[in-house]
Amino acid sequence: SFSLQAKMSRPVQARRLEGIDKNIWVEFVKLAATYSKVNLGQGFPDFPAPDFLTEAFMRALSGGNHMLHQYTRAFGHPPLVKVLAQFFEKLLGRDVDPMTNVMVTVGAYQALFCCFQALVDEGDEVIIIEPFFDCYEPMVKMAGGTPVFVPLRPNPPKDGKLMSSADWQLDPAELASKFSERTKAIVLNSPNNPLGKVFSRGELGLIAELCVKHDVLCISDEVYEWLVYDGKQHIRIASLQGMWDRTVIIGSAGKTFSATGWKVGWVVGPNRLLQHLRTVHQNSVYHCATIAQEAVAQGFQRELMLYGKPESYFVQLPKELQQKRDWLVQSLDGVGMKPIIPEGTYFLVADISQFKSDVPEVPNSDEPYDYRFAKWMVKNKGLAAIPLSAFYSEAHKNNYTNFIRFCFAKEEATLKAANDILQKWKQEKTS
Ligand code: PMP
């Protein structure tokens, strides 16, 4: 009596997904795959992960321990949580217990998801500093929370010099005004994607003071912790007075060891917070790939031994990336696409306001200029980048449509090819 063709008529989508279905990466990754000759869009290296890491993976895969092909401890493979605890004891100057203060996740992405699901309730407000890694907003909303945005405000240098990510700053009064009794957490991302800003001790001190004053948690996304340039120092907010107890530190082996496809991440923090993240983890993902964890553990053991020495990957990688940053800065500056020099990360934001005449207007389109520009550039020049306004809330994105983000974690040949495209473009414009 019932038809096989019977269509469902009830809504199938859970209400928590309303308004978060759009995702910049789906569209721009596809565009880059279809049109780009040089892809400086999505954030991953096109150079190999270090040999010591891939060799560790091979040993784990084909060595004598067949148990590495089975589930491991749900909250983190013991060798990995142990070495992470040792590492963070050094970095934070405090005791870190491998079993209760560290948890391994499927990349930093799942670490973020666990934080929001475990710590944010219906009606809670979460402060997000703009521009931000785009998934923070939908993740807060999925947890039932309300994102509250506060922008970094650009102060261009008066001497005509190129801008630096350090010139983008929080207005202290504006930041303070966002804290209320509904505020549950603030998300801090230093070094910051997309700007490359490395928050100073003063800026972190201000955030910490407000967190303590209003009894607010800090979700500290530090996936680019080792990618800091020009002798700058990455300061961990958890090491500031009163902050350990209220901070979850998030890290990523993908960014740390140039192996984003492995999707190994972690959280470090007090047990009173991590116990709730473990509840989310055990009821969603539960186990992360054992072999990848084993190899990352060996990578960290090497780095612990070489800590601060010139052979350390954490010393070498930022040196190499700083050179790549400088090449891209030069290429962009040379054609009038003004770069904002990043202090950290492998991203660089450039000002495209001088290129408006290159990109045809689309009648009746409300698509922001940076989106139109990035699409036009990949289709017509074969160079892929990401529009900056994708890293802003709906309410503020229209104020930031004159910039695009490039990723410079690329082989020298890739950056040269990008330079060739830009040079040719410049010649076409002037001839
Ligand atoms: N946080 C930030 C700021 C990122 O840029 C990224 C990756 N682009 C992540 C988290 C996610 O990292 P993972 O690949 O380890 O999940």
Segments forming the whole domain that contains residue 415: 20-49+313-430
What pLDDT shows up at residue 309? 98
Last residue of a domain, one of 283, 306, 329: 306
Model confidence pLDDT, tens digit, residues 280-315: 999 999 999 999 999 999 999 999 999 999 999 999
Residue 321 lies in a domain: yes
Residue 23 Cα to ligand 1 midpoint, Å, equals 15
What is the atom index within ligand 1 of the atom nearest the CA of 254?
15
Strands 153-154 and 168-169 come out as: antiparallel
Please indicate, yes or no, whether residues 203 and 298 belong to a single structural domain of this protein: yes
Rounded to the nearest angstrom, the distance between the alpha carbon of 3 and the centre of ligand 1 is: 47
Residues 248 and 104 in one domain: yes
Task: List, for residues 317-339, the tens digit of each pLDDT value.
Answer: 999 999 999 999 999 999 999 99
Pairing of strands 125-130, 183-189: parallel
Q: Which atom, in ligand 1's list, is nearest to the CA of 252? A: 15
CA 345 to ligand 1: nearest atom: 5
Q: Is residue 8 predicted with pLDDT exceeding 90?
A: no
pTM above 0.85, yes or no: yes
* Structure-token match 């660089």, residue found: 348
| Statement to judge: residues 377 and 415 lie in one domain | yes
Condensed to tens digits (0 to 9), the pLDDT of residues 31-78 reads: 999 999 999 999 999 999 999 999 999 999 998 899 999 999 999 999
Q: Write down the pLDDT at residue 429.
A: 84
Please indicate, yes or no, if residue 82 is contained in any of the structural domains.
yes
Same domain, 222 and 321: no
Q: Are 81 and 35 part of one and the same domain?
A: no
Q: What is the mean pLDDT of residues 338-354?
A: 97
Ligand 1 centre and the CA of 185: distance in Å? 19
Please give the share of the chain, as a percent, with pLDDT higher than 90: 90
Give the separation between CA 45 and CA 56, rounded to whole angstroms: 19
Cα gap 99→124, rounded to integer Å: 29
Same domain, yes or no: 196 and 184: yes
pLDDT in tens, 176-223: 999 999 999 999 999 999 999 999 999 999 999 999 999 999 999 999
Residue 264 CA: which ligand 1 atom is closest?
A: 15
CATH value at residue 158: 3.40.640.10
Indicate whether 350 belongs to any domain.
yes
Ligand 1 atom with minimal separation from the 133 CA: 3
Same-domain pairing of 91 and 228: yes
Residue 81, domain member (yes or no): yes
Out of 44, 133, 219, mutate this one to test ligand 1's pocket (max ligand atoms within 8 Å of CB): namely: 133
pLDDT of residue 1: 53
pLDDT at 11 over 90: no
Same-domain check for residues 271 and 325: no
Given this model, what pLDDT does residue 197 score?
98
Residue 15 lies in a domain: no
Nearest Cα residue to atom 7 of ligand 1: 43
Q: Which of 250, 275, 306 is the last residue of a domain?
A: 306
Place of tokens 């001839």: 431
Q: Identify whether 5 is part of a domain.
A: no
Whether residues 395 and 326 share a domain: the answer is yes
Average pLDDT, the chain: 96
- The C-alpha atoms of residue 402 and residue 157 are separated, in whole angstroms, by 18
Q: How many independent structural domains does the chain possess?
A: 2
The more confidently predicted of residues 341 and 365 is 341
Per-residue pLDDT, 2? 58
pLDDT in tens, 228-262: 999 999 999 999 999 999 999 999 999 999 999 99
Co-location of 43 and 57 in the same domain: no
Indicate whether 268 belongs to any domain: yes
Helix (H, G, I), strand (E, B), or coil: what is residue 307? coil
Closest residue to atom 5 of ligand 1, CA basis: 193
Structure confidence at residue 149 (pLDDT): 98
Binned at pLDDT 50, 70 and 90, residue 398 comes out as very high
Cα of 91 vs its chain's centroid, Å: 20
- Which residues does a 6 A CB cutoff place in the pocket of ligand 1? 43, 107-109, 133, 189, 193, 221, 223, 252, 254, 260, 263, 265
Q: Are residues 45 and 55 in the same domain?
A: no
pLDDT of residue 7: 80
Q: Which ranges of 188-235 does DSSP label H, i.e. alpha helix?
A: 201-214
Residue 140 and residue 106 share a domain: yes
Last residue of a domain, which of 249, 283, 306?
306
Angle at which helices 78-92 and 290-305 pack, to 10 degrees?
40
User: What is d(CA 196, CA 131) in angstroms, rounded to the nearest whole number?
Assistant: 10
Q: Which two tokens stand for residue 132?
A: 């931000």
Sheet holding 146-151, edge to edge: 102-106, 264-268, 247-252, 217-221, 183-189, 125-130, 146-151
Q: How confident is the model at residue 23 (pLDDT cuts 50, 70, 90)?
A: confident
Q: At 248, which helix (H) or strand (E)?
A: strand 247-252
Look at strands 403-407 and 386-387 and give their pairing: antiparallel
CATH code of residue 33: 3.90.1150.10
